[in-house]
Amino acid sequence: MDLAYVCEWEKWPKSTHCPSVPLACAWSCRNLIAFTTDLRNDDQDLTRLIHILDTEHPWDAHSVSSEHSEAITCLEWDQSGSRLLSADANGQIKCWSMAAHLANSWESSVGSLVEGDPIVALSWLHNGVKLALHVEKSGASSFGEKFSRVKFSPSLTLFGGKPMEGWIAVTVSGLVTVSLLKPSGQVLTSTESLLCGGLWRRMPLSCP
């Protein structure tokens, strides 16, 4: 048998970026994609990175150091697509928001912690509003014609019926933690176990 041809692939320079394990990814209603990688330096130390990519400008991704000590296990956008939750294998949850409404500038000022217990599921509390697609008008050019706001009961409410903002998370050992964002910026957190009838409680919620 004679050799017919040889394929030689171009060798790319070795990168210090490597996929995080597990890889976390989330897509927002603003067409922003968040995903994770790990950056390894010369001393083999890892930096957990979160990348924000606008699908309309995919060549201009923005990266932030998450400062998570363990692998990021979950990413979750809020209903507006302007805030992002990140959770890790040490039970730390961070809330990221746009600085000055810019998609290339993110900061984290609040969060919660279930120390030492990996987060396996994460979700924002619903604000009671969702968009419904009118299939019969899917070809319309106007956003208002294609979609309408459908109201239903929010997850939690303040006095007066205003939706309460926050998130809910589940850990690998079966703990459920709920964190509420008060208008003052304070975070109230309560944690209960799905096991043993929910007898274990970290801290009661109170919303004066």
Q: Could you report the per-residue pLDDT of 171-181, keeping only the tens digit for each? A: 999 999 999 98
pLDDT computed for residue 177 by the predictor: 93
Planar angle of CA 191, 197, 198, nearest 5 degrees: 10
* Sheet of 83-88, strands arranged across: 72-77, 83-88, 92-99, 102-113
The CATH number linked to 25 is: 2.130.10.10
Any domain includes 39: yes
Any domain includes 67: yes
Any domain includes 205: no
pLDDT computed for residue 72 by the predictor: 94
Give the total number of structural domains in the chain. 1
pLDDT grade for 189, boundaries at 50, 70 and 90: very high
β-partners of residue 187 are: 181
Taking residue 167's Cβ as centre, other Cβ atoms within 10 Å add up to 25
Look up the pTM and report it: 0.75
Structural domain boundaries enclosing 30: 17-125+165-190
Any domain includes 25: yes
Q: What is the pLDDT of residues 14-73, one digit of tens each?
A: 555 555 566 899 999 888 999 998 887 777 678 899 999 888 887 778 899 999 999 999
Question: Is residue 91 scored above 70 in pLDDT?
Answer: yes
Average pLDDT rounded to a whole number, residues 77-97: 93
Any domain includes 148: no
Stated as kind and residue range, the H or E segment containing 145 is helix 143-146
Any domain includes 151: no
Give dist(CA 192, CA 94) in Å, integer: 20
Any domain includes 153: no
Any domain includes 95: yes
Planar angle of CA 71, 76, 77, nearest 5 degrees: 140
Give dist(CA 28, CA 35) in Å, integer: 11
Q: What is the pLDDT of residues 113-157, one digit of tens each?
A: 998 899 999 999 988 777 777 777 777 777 667 777 777 777 777
DSSP assignment, residue 144?
H
Question: Is residue 206 scored above 50 in pLDDT?
Answer: no
